[in-house]
């Protein structure tokens, strides 16, 4: 976990110094706040990879620190560990019911603290990676040009965005977004992006003229939204060539609300597909490519797999499905894996879209 940033919120200065030195020796970068109010400010400004917080701290106690940070999109999924001298079952239950990742009582073994931090950060990274894999799968399935941009540089692009300008997907990373925009339209595009970043989560749509690799003009529409991706503020955008489709009533496009919803799924660092609504799934099923041949019609799901799929389409979590169907969470996961495999999808989002398009489930 070398280089990971830890925010320690602890009013015991001596203990805080010992913890900071110990974690620093183990490769972490540690910042310290001696009260809850300062800790909240530092969490928003530094966006740490982990927060370790005492409960009995001045100004704002640890419980309130957690509640405030948990309600903010920027820190909602930051791993959070409580430290406290309270050892009653009620106190421990209070902390865990709020949603904290772990709870260590004083005095604690420093090796236990290190192990807990490593475990929680590793779990968080797996969730983040799963979410990124799902996002990239959706990104590359779209017939439009989709990208994630940070500081005007492309962080992620799909094949269709590169094709839009006549470059390969690898070549497009050598350019910035404004490199493809006409000089007269650059100021208004930059203004829209700056406003989106400054106001956070503000959607925007803008039309402008761009140029492809042969310097031919291309009329483009950008639907964008604020996101927080791989630790930095970003713009997620959908870029479409509107030269010949302005009068087409059959063209399905992702608008700024759809992009904001996808951005929200990224913000939540979650591998759960149900962060995407039924209406957006319906729209995706209309524009994302899924082969519809005789082989699709021969897909057979078991009765239990149909039940699990139906619950999935209701947006229920694994634990909720297990409770509704009176089966274990492990069994639910096995059925989910079987559904993905049988539909030939890359992940559960694609499996749901496939199932809706091929009438394997009704929503």
The answer as to whether 137 is a domain residue is no
- Tell me, yes or no, whether 207 and 300 share the same domain: no
DSSP string, 211-241: E-TT--EEEEEEEEEEEEETTEEEEEEEEEE
pLDDT at 286: 53
The total number of structural domains that make up the chain? 3
- Tell me, yes or no, whether 321 and 288 share the same domain: yes
pLDDT at 1: 60
Lay out the sheet containing 217-229: strands in order across.
Answer: 153-157, 145-150, 232-241, 217-229, 204-211
The residues with which 153 forms a beta bridge, in sequence order, are 150, 176
* Dihedral angle sign, alpha carbons of residues 188, 193, 196, 198: negative
pLDDT at 193: 87
All residue ranges of the chain with pLDDT < 50 are 246-250, 268-274, 287-296
- Tell me, yes or no, whether 152 and 236 share the same domain: yes
- Tell me, yes or no, whether 15 and 115 share the same domain: yes
Which pTM value belongs to this model? 0.47
Whichever domain contains 331, its CATH number is 1.10.10.10
pLDDT digits (tens, 9 = 90+) for 102-156: 888 888 889 999 999 999 888 877 766 666 665 666 666 666 788 888 888 888 8
Helix axes 278-287, 348-357, angle to 10 degrees: 70
Would you call 53 exposed, middle or buried from its count of C-beta atoms within 10 A (0-12, 13-18, 19+)?
A: buried
- Tell me, yes or no, whether 124 and 214 share the same domain: no
Please state, in angstroms and rounded to a whole number, the distance separating the CA atoms of residues 151 and 154: 8
- Tell me, yes or no, whether 243 and 338 share the same domain: no
- Tell me, yes or no, whether 198 and 208 share the same domain: yes
The residues with which 80 forms a beta bridge, in sequence order, are 51
- Tell me, yes or no, whether 113 and 159 share the same domain: no
The answer as to whether 214 is a domain residue is yes
- Boundary (domain end) residue, out of 255, 271, 287: 271
pLDDT at 290: 43
pLDDT at 271: 42
The answer as to whether 104 is a domain residue is yes
- Boundary (domain end) residue, out of 230, 246, 271: 271
pLDDT at 12: 93
Closest listed residue to residue 138, CA positions, set 268, 236, 256: 236
pLDDT at 338: 85
- Boundary (domain end) residue, out of 242, 271, 300: 271
Range of the domain at 17: 5-130
pLDDT digits (tens, 9 = 90+) for 192-213: 888 888 776 567 889 999 988 9
């Amino acid at each position: 976990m070398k280089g990971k940033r830890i925010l320690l919120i602890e009013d015991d200065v001596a203990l805080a110094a010992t913890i900071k030195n110990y974690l620093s020796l183990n490769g972490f970068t540690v910042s310290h706040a001696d009260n809850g109010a300062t800790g909240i400010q530092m969490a928003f400004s530094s966006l740490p990879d982990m927060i370790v917080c005492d409960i009995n701290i001045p100004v704002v106690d640890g419980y309130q620190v957690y509640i405030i940070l948990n309600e903010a999109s920027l820190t909602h999924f930051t791993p959070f560990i409580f430290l406290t001298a309270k050892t009653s079952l009620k106190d421990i239950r209070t902390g865990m019911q709020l949603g904290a990742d772990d709870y260590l009582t004083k005095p604690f073994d420093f090796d236990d603290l290190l192990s807990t931090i490593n475990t929680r950060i590793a779990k968080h990274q797996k969730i983040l990676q799963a979410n990124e894999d799902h996002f990239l799968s959706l990104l590359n399935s779209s017939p439009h040009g989709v990208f994630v941009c940070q500081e005007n540089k492309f962080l992620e692009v799909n094949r269709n965005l590169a094709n839009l300008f006549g470059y390969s997907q690898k070549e497009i990373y050598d350019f910035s977004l404004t490199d493809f925009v006409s000089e007269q339209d650059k100021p208004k595009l930059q203004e829209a992006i700056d406003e989106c970043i400054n106001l956070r989560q503000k959607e925007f749509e803008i039309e402008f003229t761009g140029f492809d690799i042969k310097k031919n003009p291309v009329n483009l529409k950008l639907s964008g939204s604020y996101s927080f991706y791989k630790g930095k503020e970003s713009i997620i955008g959908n870029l479409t060539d509107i030269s010949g489709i302005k009068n087409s009533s059959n063209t399905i496009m992702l608008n700024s609300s759809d992009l904001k919803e996808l951005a929200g799924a990224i913000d939540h660092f979650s591998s759960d597909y149900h962060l995407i609504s039924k209406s957006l799934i319906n729209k995706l099923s209309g524009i994302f490519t899924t082969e519809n041949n005789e082989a699709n019609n021969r897909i057979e799901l078991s009765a239990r797999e149909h039940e699990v799929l139906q619950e999935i389409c209701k947006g229920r979590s694994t634990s909720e499905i297990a409770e509704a169907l009176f089966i274990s969470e492990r069994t639910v996961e096995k059925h989910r894996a079987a559904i993905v495999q049988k539909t030939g999808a890359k992940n559960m989002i694609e499996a749901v879209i496939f199932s809706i398009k091929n009438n394997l489930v009704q929503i």
